[in-house]
Structure formats: C-alpha cells, structure tokens
Chains A and B, each alone.
Chain A
Amino acid sequence: AQRVTQPEKLLSVFKGAPVELKCNYSYSGSPELFWYVQYSRQRLQLLLRHISRESIKGFTADLNKGETSFHLKKPFAQEEDSAMYYCALRGGGNKLTFGTGTQLKVEL
C-alpha cells in the first residue's frame, strides 16, 4: 500500500522567512514523488517532480529515501506563495496518492 503524510494542515510564515512543507511517504518499491500547488479556488498545478531535480518559483524538494521524505523548501517566502500544497506519490501504474495538503499562508 502507498501512503503520503503531510503532518501540517496549516503553515503560517512571514514574508521573507524560510519555508519547509513536510511530506513523508510509505511505499515498498521505488516511488516517484510530486508536489502540486493549488491557488485559491483554482486547478491543481504541478510544481515539482523529484526526477527532474529542478527549482520552480524558488522551491526545491529532495527525495530522502532513508527518511522516506520529500519536503518542499523555499529560502524566502513571498506573498504569492500562499496556496494549498499537495505532496503526491506514484508507485506502480499511473495512479497518484495524495497527502491531505498543507495550506501555506505568507503574512506581511
């Protein structure tokens, strides 16, 4: 069985502060991990996938197989980063398992 855990429902930070959104997963095989972002009342958009190892909008995420984690980080939060962030895992097949999401609120 595959499982994704996002322990924080809400994360509130000040503008310019570092951000870390936590994601832990459970999967017996070799997973593929993603971060999706959903701005207010909009569609989910792909933010990052671990195999591409890129930085999007200043966000990065590193897959740590030892800790089974894929935390999302940004050194300096911006107001426009306020959104819902979902971590997702793809194991066998094409099915995605999503975490429950973390609402990021960036305050001025």
Chain B
Amino acid sequence: DARVTQTPRHKVTEMGQEVTMRCQPILGHNTVFWYRQTMMQGLELLAYFRNRAPLDDSGMPKDRFSAEMPDATLATLKIQPSEPRDSAVYFCASGLPRQPQHFGDGTRLSIL
C-alpha cells in the first residue's frame, strides 16, 4: 500500500532555530501539497507543486518559509527563523491530476 512519508513525525525546538520538514510523495505522483493544520485555522494550503515546479505558494509566509522539490522523490518545507506561532501539524499530500490527494502522517511541530 503506497504511502506519503513525512519526516520527522515530531519536532520540538526553540524559537529562532531552522526547521526542515521532508516529504516523500507516492512514486509516480506529480503533484505535491503542503498544508498546515491548527486548532484555530483548520487546514491551510501553504504550497503546491506540479512536476516539481511551484504553482502556488500564496498561502505561505514568504519571509520565513520556503518550499522546494529538489527531485521527484523529495519535497522540503523550511522555516527560518522559527517562531512559536509556527507550532502546528504540517501535512504533505501527493496526487495525480483529477485524482484524490493522499496525505502523509504529518509532522507535529512545537516551537518553544
């Protein structure tokens, strides 16, 4: 059963530190999404890639967040510097055009 794999599952760090979250999409999927889930805002789309090219990152704070796909098997989401308000669960999802998205288990991030 193919799955989206996210690492790390949990991350606790102090404010000001750089945080890197990784996602391995399902093999063959050409669209990758990053979402942030919080109690207050629910699920928010941060960034969206197709064929490794960023199509939409309007939901992402540009000053501290960056998202990349160095190759088809890896997507990264970086926060530098991190702030306590970045504490959330970050989900990666992958899919094919006109097919449902498949979600990873998420990275639970706590910034102290």
Contacts and interface: CB of A to CB of B under 8 A. Distances in A.
Interface of A: 34, 36, 42-46, 49, 86, 93-101
- Classify chain B's interface size: 20 to 34
B56 interface: yes
Interface of B: 4, 31, 33, 35, 41-43, 45, 48, 50, 55-56, 91, 93, 95, 97-98, 100-106
Contact of A94 (B41, B42, B48, B103): B48
A96 B95 CA distance: 11
Overall SS of chain A's interface: strand
A42 B105 contact: yes
Given A86-B43, A101-B43, A94 B91 contact: no
Given A86-B43, A101-B42, A101-B43, A46 B100 contact: yes
B30 to A, nearest CB: 10
A39 B103 CA distance: 13
A42 B106 CA distance: 8
A49 B91 contact: no
Which 5 A-B pairs give the minimum distances between C-beta atoms? Answer: A100-B42, A98-B43, A44-B103, A43-B103, A46-B100
